[in-house]
């Protein structure tokens, strides 16, 4: 089975809430319902850390042994609960299949409706994510079953999950319409080996909390899959990339390297801006493949806006400046903030952040910013423009990543 493994560092947000119960006093451990630990797989970091972790697990095993009923003392082959292993290694390993409702990769980080939810759960636990990509749903679920992953992110059928005797939680928590209305698969789910494992139980509480259900619906709106569903849009997008992209691909790739971007992200921006037309001119005077204003072009060192190489370089440099303007935003959400700022200016985005903060909402969550743009677009046309600008680029990029590459 061919497998591609990605290593992703999630944001540090939530790390202060990390539940390091393995280090807590024995009284806390005696009150847990974890199974008897018989062995601990080695963790290859440093000799010192490996010894320390083994010692911690040995301590947990000794105390758990004393707390078990006498008849349990003969059962010495119990597996380490997935939650224990995740917290010990500080890593949540996910088996997943790339798709429009699960995840896609760009800019060195994973994005997507399903993955963003997993990332939020990992933040809640205070752990990193190790994403393992598989070619199909059954392969991902079998990886979970065999212990190669702690949980699986799939759109697999109930029949397949039952066949493998896996428990699962639909991320919509029964609100399937919030997904289907946005063109997402109604049965995106997280699967686990055991229902009674704390990893599964905590995931259920995380997803089905009333506030979290609302957040999930906001996220689904941003990851709307309907933009390129009609035949005309699909054909135009594909035709443009086939006919125009070869003329500029080397420029996109070089300028992406110059400013530390994913080159296909710049392509998606170029299609949104001009449909990859180097001679495009708007009624407001912006010009070129990346449709730079005259003032922005000068600030970015662009002397000829209709020169494709210069235009792409100017756009790439400006996008990097926007990323730096939002360096306090978790890296996986930062690209969306940067794109919104590219369209409407960084100060406008920061004003929205301040309003969200005043309302007691997380001002570094793109889902919250996107919802604010959507709910207030009737009173400010720039909000509607920025909302569609970022959504369109996300959709073009996702199409490139999941269907055409």
Would you please indicate which residues are annotated as catalytic (active-site) residues? Answer: 273
- 287 and 241 in contact (C-beta within 8 Å)? no
Extract long-range pairs of 163-170: CB within 8 Å, 24+ residues apart. Answer: 166/141, 166/191, 166/192, 166/193, 167/191, 167/192, 167/193, 167/194, 167/195, 167/200, 168/192, 169/200, 169/203, 169/204, 169/207, 169/208
Tokens of 191: 């699967």
Structure tokens at 340: 């919104």
The dihedral through the CA atoms of 134, 137, 138, 144 has a sign that is: positive
Q: How many helices (H) and strands (E) does the chain have?
A: 18, 8
How far, rounded to the nearest angstrom, does the alpha carbon of residue 43 sit from its chain's CA centroid?
A: 26
Look at strands 4-8 and 189-192 and give their pairing.
unpaired
How far apart, in whole angstroms, are the C-alpha atoms of residue 113 and residue 108? 17
């Amino acid at each position: 089975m061919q497998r591609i493994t990605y290593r992703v560092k999630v944001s540090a947000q939530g790390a202060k809430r990390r539940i390091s119960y393995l280090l807590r006093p024995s009284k806390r451990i005696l009150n847990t319902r974890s199974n008897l630990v018989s062995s601990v797989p080695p963790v290859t970091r440093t000799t010192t850390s490996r010894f320390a972790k083994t010692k911690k697990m040995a301590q947990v095993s000794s105390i758990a042994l004393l707390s078990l009923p006498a008849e349990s003392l003969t059962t010495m082959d119990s597996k380490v609960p997935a939650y224990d292993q995740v917290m010990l290694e500080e890593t949540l390993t996910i088996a997943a299949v790339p798709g429009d409702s699960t995840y896609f990769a760009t800019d060195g980080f994973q994005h997507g409706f399903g993955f963003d939810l997993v990332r939020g759960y990992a933040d809640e636990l205070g752990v990193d994510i190790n994403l393992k990509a598989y070619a199909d749903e059954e392969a991902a679920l079998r990886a979970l079953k065999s212990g190669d992953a702690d949980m699986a992110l799939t759109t697999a059928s109930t029949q397949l999950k039952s066949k493998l005797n896996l428990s699962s939680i639909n991320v919509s928590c029964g609100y399937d319409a919030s997904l289907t209305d946005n063109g997402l698969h109604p049965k995106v789910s997280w699967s686990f080996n055991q229902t009674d494992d704390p990893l599964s139980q905590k995931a259920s509480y995380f997803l089905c909390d009333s506030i979290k259900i609302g957040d999930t619906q906001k996220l689904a709106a941003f990851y709307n899959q309907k933009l390129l569903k009609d035949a005309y849009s699909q054909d135009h997008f594909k035709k443009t990339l086939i006919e125009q992209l070869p003329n500029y691909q080397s420029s996109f790739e070089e300028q992406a390297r110059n400013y530390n971007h994913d080159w296909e992200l710049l392509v998606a921006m170029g299609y949104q801006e001009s449909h990859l037309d180097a001679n495009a001119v708007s009624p407001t005077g912006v010009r070129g493949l990346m449709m730079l204003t005259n003032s922005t072009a000068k600030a970015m060192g662009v002397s000829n806006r209709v020169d494709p190489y210069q235009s792409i370089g100017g756009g790439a440099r400006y996008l990097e400046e926007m990323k730096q303007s939002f360096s306090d935003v978790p890296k996986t959400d930062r690209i969306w903030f940067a794109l919104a700022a590219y369209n409407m200016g960084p100060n406008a985005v920061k004003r929205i952040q301040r309003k969200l903060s005043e309302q007691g909402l997380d001002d570094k969550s793109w889902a919250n910013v996107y919802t604010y743009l959507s709910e207030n677009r009737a009173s400010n046309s720039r909000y509607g423009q920025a909302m569609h600008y970022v959504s369109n680029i996300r959709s073009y990029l996702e199409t490139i990543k999941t269907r055409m590459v």
